[in-house]
Amino acid sequence: METMPGRRIGAAPAPTEHTVALRGVEKAFQTGRVRYQALRGVDLTIDAGELVAVVGPSGSGKSTILNIITGIDRPTAGTVTVTGRDLTSMDEEQLAAWRGEHIGIVFQFFQLLPTLTALENVMLPLDFARKGTVADRLARSTHCLDRVGLSDKAASFPAELSGGEQQRVAIARAIACEPAILVADEPTGNLDTDTADQMFEVLEAVNRDGTTVVYVTHDPSLAAMADRVAAIRDGQVVDGGHP
């Protein structure tokens, strides 16, 4: 399979430190008597500061890989090391605390709380992590909304925002705790082309500031804008798993 080109022609080599390392990762889901093997011995490394696209057919295991990286799903076999931590050795409480400190997640369907304003949605992870004073959290959340161009929508509820605006709020929420890694599952999948391009510019800006960004996409043009493309098929990384 031919590797898709990255966007940074002539860029300096990526650092040798892996912020994500999956080794021999398998994941099986059991529903009654039916066992589904989602991942089959995945090897994948991602360096600090990389912008990595994960591509592949529906059902190939893309979203499961993101869930493994974030600790939402636990592997059936293999090792998962993220930000220097062995996720397989952590209990659920430790994983939740670690995730709140190091991981930002952008969901495909936004998942904003409808009864909270845009600003309140962005503040949620800061409130859960109890980072700083209330004034600190308010200032940080306002800054994050400004970064995604929505400072004028702080008092708006999700139902009053367009799809693109809701996704930008979701990105602002994901970066509120200044995570080391931002993962996004089809972040532009429900947006028109122009809005999707604007959304990707936000992800690029976050990446330029030093955040490692890993995103799933079905859009070849968006995938080609990454530093590296990891292609998944039948639960395995078939191309681009290593720098």
181-198 confidence digits (pLDDT tens): 999 998 887 778 887 888
Residue 127, CB-side half-sphere exposure with 13 Å CA sphere: 9
13-68 confidence digits (pLDDT tens): 344 468 999 999 999 998 888 999 999 999 999 999 999 999 999 889 999 999 99
Q: Give how far the C-alpha of residue 206 lies from the chain's centroid of Cα atoms, to the nearest Å.
A: 12
Quick one: pLDDT band at residue 9, thresholds 50, 70, 90?
Answer: very low
- Integer angstrom CA distances of residue 167 from 55, 69, 74, 128: 20, 21, 27, 21
Neighbours of 68 (CB within 10 A): 27
Q: Give how far the C-alpha of residue 233 lies from the chain's centroid of Cα atoms, to the nearest Å.
A: 20
156-170 confidence digits (pLDDT tens): 999 999 988 998 899
pTM attached to this predicted model? 0.86
Strand order in the sheet with 77-82: 34-47, 18-31, 77-82, 85-86
What is the rounded CA–CA span in Å between residue 233 and residue 24?
A: 15
Among residues of the chain, what percentage have pLDDT more than 90? 68
* CATH class belonging to 18-239: alpha beta
The CB-based long-range contact list for 120-125 (8 Å cut-off, 24+ gap) reads 121/158, 121/169, 121/173, 122/169, 122/172, 122/173, 122/176, 123/176, 124/173, 125/100, 125/173, 125/174, 125/176, 125/177
131-147 confidence digits (pLDDT tens): 888 999 999 999 999 98
Mean of the per-residue pLDDT values for the chain?
A: 88
